[in-house]
Chains A and B, each alone.
Chain A
Amino acid sequence: KAGVTQTPRYLIKTRGQQVTLSCSPISGHRSVSWYQQTPGQGLQFLFEYFSETQRNKGNFPGRFSGRQFSNSRSEMNVSTLELGDSALYLCASSLFPGQGVYEQYFGPGTRLTVT
Chain B
Amino acid sequence: AQSVTQLDSHVSVSEGTPVLLRCNYSSSYSPSLFWYVQHPNKGLQLLLKYTSAATLVKGINGFEAEFKKSETSFHLTKPSAHMSDAAEYFCVVTGSNQGGKLIFGQGTELSVKP
Binding site for B on A (CB under 8 A): 4, 31, 33, 35, 42-45, 48, 50, 55-56, 58, 90, 92, 94, 97-109
Contact = CB atoms under 8 A, between A and B. Distances in A.
A45 B34 CA distance: 15
Interface of B: 31-34, 36, 42-46, 49, 51, 90, 94-96, 98-107
A108 B32 contact: no
A72 B47 CA distance: 25
Contact of B106 (A42, A100, A102, A104): A42
Given A99-B100, A102-B100, A106-B43, 20 more contacts: A4-B43, A35-B102, A42-B106, A43-B90, A44-B104, A45-B102, A45-B103, A48-B99, A90-B43, A90-B44, A99-B95, A100-B31, A100-B32, A100-B94, A104-B46, A104-B100, A104-B102, A106-B36, A106-B44, A108-B42
B72 to A, nearest CB: 16
Nearest to B36: A106
Contacts of A48: 99-101
A50 B100 CA distance: 10
Contacts of B43: 4, 90, 106-109
Contacts of B94: 99-100
B92 to A, nearest CB: 8
Contacts of B101: 33, 45, 48, 56, 58
A94 B46 contact: no
Contacts of A55: 99-100
Q: Which of A90, A92, A94 counts the most chain B CB atoms within 10 A?
A: A92
Contacts of A90: 43-44
A31 B104 contact: no
